A and B are shown apart, each in its own frame.
Chain A
Amino acid sequence: MNITRRQLLILLPAAALAWEHVLAGTPEASPNYTMSEHWWGMLIDITKCIGCGSCVRACQLENHVPDGYYRTWVERYHIEDWKAENPKVDSPDGGKNGFPLLKETGGKNFFVPKLCNHCAESPCTQVCPVGATFVTPDGVVLVDQKYCLGCRYCVQACPYGCRFINPATETANKCSLCYHRITKGLTTACCEVCPTGTRQLADLKNPNDPIHEFLRTHSVQVLKPQMATRSKCFYYGLDGSVR
């Protein structure tokens, strides 16, 4: 087969276009959403949290979390003077119905909202024997409910205690960072209802996201940095006693 120079010049760009189409793969579910343009995380300002439990209630309703299980929850810390090694922590019903008054008076008291940290190097995805849990290209740790065996390895592996076995399906469950919402341009249910702005969804790949200005100008910490999980939940005002 002989190809003239003219034919070759026409064929090359066509081939390049075809190859690009192969590389792009199949289109995604949300037409206006491109995974490679996002890298999700969350900012939590502890100095604003009032322990109202709105986030816990909203999460349960949005994600059909069974009673007694929590994808997000709020803890109350009570630290007497210098005894930061032994904080008293309570979280009645995950803080869903608020917090009763403390018997103890004085000391240091504050609330800490918790959720999946959506680690970039997540221990839970590394132990899954069947590939049922994974970090998506946009940085969210998800569970494939159809693939999960319910072996509980990931529940043990999470250093933050964020996973549970859903008693209805016997599969692993956890915060999905409201993936079904953020891919539609909405914020997460917990961030939506938070009355004080304690929780803020953050897109770390979006240069216009206010998180960048916040991270530049504030002292921010992640939970258990010694675990090297590259957590993407950034806490402002986090006390050293928080585990």
Chain B
Amino acid sequence: MKTFKDAGHLFRLAAVFLVGVAAFLIVRSLLVPRSFGRYGHYRADAIAEIAALPVAYAGHQVCEGCHSEVQEVKSKGVHKGVACESCHGPQAKHAEDPASGVPPKLDTAVLCVRCHQENIAKPKGFPQVNAADHSGGAACDTCHKPHSPAMTGGGSQ
């Protein structure tokens, strides 16, 4: 076969090229994660990794599993729509192991004004007070019980 003179260097060049392509494919298969491209141009395993992160807020359904007596009181008052951890903070650890990490007693003078301090931007129907004028410095739970804040004995809410 004498179609081309000195064709040998073409074959050598082709061999170098093929080795390069093979090396590229091997390196690529080592570097690209296996799950890359399963759903799109991203690593599909990342979805499961994010889904497996731990939870800090247990959810009010979990709280109510044990503290049904509080749920009973709360369901009759205006705070029925307020979740437990809205005031008590994240309690997933306490839910897993009730003995450890008992939630601290809350200071109502700090807690209640977060929502109920007067502010012009709040919806008009929302109960708001100027805390200093309203209670004269007394803690809110002197008169209102946080789980069902309506006052008994003829007082206004």
Given contacts A131-B36, A137-B39, contact A102 B83 (CB under 8 A): no
> Which of A131, A136, A193, A196 contacts B41, CB < 8 Å?
A131
Closest Cβ of chain A: how far from B1's Cβ, in Å? 40
User: Could you count the A-B residue pairs with CB atoms below 8 Å apart for me: how many are there?
Assistant: 134
Q: Name the B residues within 8 Å of A101 (CB-CB).
A: 118-120
Closest Cβ of chain B: how far from A163's Cβ, in Å? 16
Given contacts A50-B126, A193-B86, contact A105 B120 (CB under 8 A): yes
- Contact, CB under 8 Å: A111 / B121: yes
The A181-239 residues at the B interface (CB cut-off 8 A) are: 181, 183-184, 186-187, 189, 192-197
- Contact, CB under 8 Å: B47 / A142: yes
B123 near A: Cβ within 8 Å? yes
- Contact, CB under 8 Å: B86 / A54: yes
- Contact, CB under 8 Å: B81 / A195: yes
> Which of B39, B50, B122 contacts A180, CB < 8 Å?
B50
Closest Cβ of chain A: how far from B82's Cβ, in Å? 4
Q: How large is the interface on B (under 10, 10 to 19, 20 to 34, 35 or more residues)?
A: 35 or more
The B19-71 residues at the A interface (CB cut-off 8 A) are: 35-36, 38-43, 46-57, 59-60
The A123-149 residues at the B interface (CB cut-off 8 A) are: 131-137, 142, 144-147
A84 near B: Cβ within 8 Å? no
Q: Say whether chain A's binding surface is mostly helix, strand, loop, or mixed.
A: loop
- Contact, CB under 8 Å: B46 / A142: yes
Given contacts A54-B114, A134-B41, contact A142 B50 (CB under 8 A): yes
- Contact, CB under 8 Å: B55 / A186: yes
Contact flags A59-97 to B (C-beta < 8 A → 1, else 0): 001100000000000001110000000000000000000
Closest to B46 in A: A144
Closest Cβ of chain A: how far from B118's Cβ, in Å? 8
Residues of A within 8 A of B (CB): 25-26, 28-30, 33, 35, 47-54, 58, 61-62, 76-78, 98-99, 101-102, 105, 109-111, 131-137, 142, 144-147, 176, 179-181, 183-184, 186-187, 189, 192-197
